[in-house]
Structure 1
């Protein structure tokens, strides 16, 4: 574990203004977010705030908000988000030196829409392979050391079998002392044994067991009877 808790203090804000209008952001301000396992998945519907949350966590740790490590900037002069610049952390014993020393920080922010460019610019995506293969190659060669790895929907480029391989990489990364915070829609990834799952939505944030996740229930029902859903989608 690198970090045990994330929090932010904002003296005053308008609750109708973004990002303070997002329920999970308001809960972060009120109570913070504790991390209880080396791998934390953040799940929720589109628009629930999960990407806003993980991007702010990455920025708070000093990772490139457009994808990359703390010592490289994809977005040039792009400033931190109003939430990201206010994020603070309580460090776990392994992470105290990282938070005290900028040069000691290790990690990466991987977001689906900029992943290929970010990995290529940092020299970790091989040529002449598919998007998904390049993505996995980066995990094999780069995501190995203890550090904070923040991810936003990494499953976007991956097939079913590649997602299973990614699960293995996440497990090994945690075994090597790394910590992962990952926003995802994938019932495959969230089934990683021992992972913590935080569901965000109108309720704010809450911890949920994998078998109680709404997305798991929907996938089960859809695979059992696709027409039960498609007749509404195609009507």
Structure 2
């Protein structure tokens, strides 16, 4: 039996939007958005660069109370205000069941999260170091990929809602497989994941609900029907013809 999703649905308050010709309402992920259901333990947004999947994930995270640059709900730093006001136009439906842990991972701003942790740990007040929850070592003293794994393996504790924006950015294929394994452990411990990704490895999580985002809107798609799967499979099965076409 799958764990009950903490976030059940989101709905765009279309009647409050003055124009769908201005950002962020002009991007494909929003322009055709009406209602999205999160009825699986893992929901994945896929789409080309610029389709708006990260903007949508960010808006969901901010609506839930997470910092726009990432981290837990306790992080309130801001290096630059670049997030859209899309979160103000989302209506969220949540389960009666409350999650005890949560994190919003943004690959592009995780450096800022790591910096904030180091800054907070410099406070002389007698308290446990925040970095102890991430393996006891500054995230800046690890490679980008190692720090991502430390987050997954050490910080994520289960009974959680985890939003991940392109977590594969710093991970080798082997490490992406390790993330899949850790996701499975956390899901068995009543966790829910919402992920924006280009990785056909992460998309392969069994039973995941995949939403394709393109110029026509947002719609469910089978794993084998994603462009990411098709292109990767075609290339790895026979790279020669594709390379010759690209280089001709």
Scaled to the shorter chain, the TM-score interval is 0.7 to 0.9
2:97 is paired with a residue whose SS is helix
Give distance in 1, aligned partners of 2:153 and 2:18: 43
Asked if 2 retains the 8 angstrom alpha-carbon contact of 1:152 and 1:183, the reply is yes
Q: Of 54, 62, 67, which aligns to 1:64?
A: 67
Residues 1-235 of structure 1 mapped to structure 2, 5 A cutoff: 1-10=5-14, 11-28=16-33, 31-75=34-78, 78=81, 81-95=84-98, 106-119=101-114, 121-122=116-117, 123=131, 124=134, 126-127=137-138, 128-235=141-248
8 Å CA contact 1:68–1:119 kept in 2: the answer is no
Deviation at 1:86, TM superposition (A): 2.5
Change in CA separation of 1:76 and 1:86 when aligned onto 2, cut-off 3 Å:
farther
* TM-score computed with the length of structure 2 as normaliser: 0.83
8 A contact 2:168–2:199 mirrored in 1: yes
**Structure of higher CA gyration radius:** 2
Aligned length: 225
Question: How big is the shift at 1:80?
Answer: 5.6
SS at match of 1:188: helix
Q: 1:208 to 1:223 in 2, by over 3 A?
A: same
Is there any run of 5+ residues in structure 2 with no aligned partner, and where?
A: 118-130
Aligned-residue offset at 1:89: 1.1
* Cα distance in 1 for residues equivalent to 2:222 and 2:110: 29
Task: Output one character per residue of 1:73-132: Cα deviation in whole Å (capped at 9) or x when no partner.
Answer: 23168386210122221112313xx6xxxxxx7411101112243145342263443221
d(CA) in 1 for partners of 2:156 and 2:225? 30
**For residues 74 and 229 of structure 1, do their structure 2 counterparts lie closer, same or farther at Cα, with a shift above 3 Å needed?**
farther
- How far 1:191 sits from its partner (Å)? 0.5
Unaligned runs of 5+ in 1: 99-104
Q: What is the CA–CA distance in structure 1 between the aligned matches of 2:144 and 2:175, rounded to whole Å?
A: 11
CA RMSD of aligned residues (A): 2.0
User: What SS class does the counterpart of residue 171 from structure 1 fall into?
Assistant: helix
